[in-house]
Amino acid sequence: MKVLYWHVDYLKYAAIKKALKSVPDLENDEKEGKIDEGIVVLMSFEKDDNKEKLESFIRDLNNYAKQINAKKVMIYPYAHLSKNLLNPQKSMELLKTLKENMEKNDTFVEVKFSPFGWYKSFEVKVKGHPLAELSREF
Amino acid sequence: MKVLYWHVDYLKYAAIKKALKSVPDLENDEKEGKIDEGIVVLMSFEKDDNKEKLESFIRDLNNYAKQINAKKVMIYPYAHLSKNLLNPQKSMELLKTLKENMEKNDTFVEVKFSPFGWYKSFEVKVKGHPLAELSREF
């Protein structure tokens, strides 16, 4: 599991077209989303990923959020961080578990997920302080 | 050498602070830069990189530019794509060679480089078509 953390002023995306046939259709209001003043997590699931790694990730993300005093987060599935991607079915299962676990979590007042398996355009402003961009491997 | 290609409407950056002591100071007008309608290449140099790999990269970038009909490019040094980074001195040497080779190249009407070794804020709009984001390893 490879992730990039971005501390952003904002990110907004628009889902344009399915990149994977197996992913669900989206309602129009699910095709766009935005986060203001928070963390964007670009995330690639890899072949050996499992629920324990999700837990390590959540612990690390919580620590990061406290360090930079962020209260909002968007998980942004991103296939371009690894050459060793987990298959789409298992990735969607892990995303579901991640969503359930993060919604129980009280670090964040807002937790959003951008759609998995869609080509998306996005516009973002990433801050420039020393902790504004970090990469992690779990 | 790991790179991400982004086909962008625009990207603008501002260099905020040195991330590496060994990198040169910047004049004020070097601290900000912008590209419109072109390719941004996020680039991490790795320990085994050399001039031959630069040539492979340039060939691939030229092909990509032709596919999407892009005429402008910005090379954006980006430390977060690899855990196996080349040292700063050698990275700066490769960047210098890359710059010389790309300026000889007639694929692009505009070739820009964002500063290496600085914390930068950036704002970008990445397109959403199927070739708008690609990852490569050389």
Q: Which residues of A touch B119 (CB under 8 A)?
A: 128-130, 132
With a CB cutoff of 8 Å and minimum separation 6, the contacts of B110 are B35, B38, B71, B72, B73
Residue numbers of the domain that contains B113: 2-137
With a CB cutoff of 8 Å and minimum separation 6, the contacts of B99 are B75, B111, B113
With a CB cutoff of 8 Å and minimum separation 6, the contacts of A114 are A13, A15, A33, A74, A75, A76, A77, A120
Q: Which residues of B touch A125 (CB under 8 A)?
A: 121-123
Q: Which residues of A touch B17 (CB under 8 A)?
A: 128-130
Give me the residues of chain B with pLDDT under 50, please: none
A1 in contact with B at a CB cutoff of 8 Å? Answer: no
Task: Name residue A30's amino acid.
Answer: E
DSSP β-ladder status, B2-18 and B133-137: antiparallel
Please say whether the dihedral angle defined by the alpha carbons of residues A50, A14, A121 and A105, taken in this order, is positive or negative. negative
pLDDT in tens, A19-76: 999 999 999 999 999 999 999 999 999 999 999 999 999 999 999 999 999 999 999 9
- Contact at CB, B126 and A126, closer than 8 angstroms: no
Query: How close is the nearest chain A Cα to the Cα of B48, in Å?
Result: 18
Q: Which residues of B touch A117 (CB under 8 A)?
A: none
- Contact at CB, B130 and A124, closer than 8 angstroms: no
Give the gyration radius of chain B's Cα atoms: 14
Hey, of A133, A134, A136, A138, which one would you mutate to test binding to chain B, going by the most B CBs within 10 A of its CB? A133
* The pLDDT of residue A33: 98
Number of independent structural domains in chain B = 1
Residue A45: helix, strand or coil by DSSP? coil
* The pLDDT of residue A28: 94
Please report which confidence band the pLDDT of residue A122 belongs to, taking 50, 70 and 90 as the band edges.
very high
- Contact at CB, B133 and A14, closer than 8 angstroms: no
Residue A103 has pLDDT above 90, yes or no: no
B14 in contact with A at a CB cutoff of 8 Å? Answer: yes
Instruction: Say which residue the tokens 């991640």 belong to.
Output: A98
* The pLDDT of residue A104: 86
CATH code of the domain containing B38 = 3.50.80.10
* The pLDDT of residue B120: 98
Residue A105 has pLDDT above 90, yes or no: no
* The pLDDT of residue B91: 97
Model pTM greater than 0.95? Answer: yes
A14 in contact with B at a CB cutoff of 8 Å? Answer: yes
Task: Name residue A26's amino acid.
Answer: L
* A76 in Cβ contact with A42 (< 8 Å): yes
* The pLDDT of residue B10: 98
- Helix (H) or strand (E) run with residue A2 in it: strand A2-18
pLDDT in tens, B104-137: 888 999 999 999 999 999 999 999 999 999 999 9
- Contact at CB, B128 and A81, closer than 8 angstroms: no
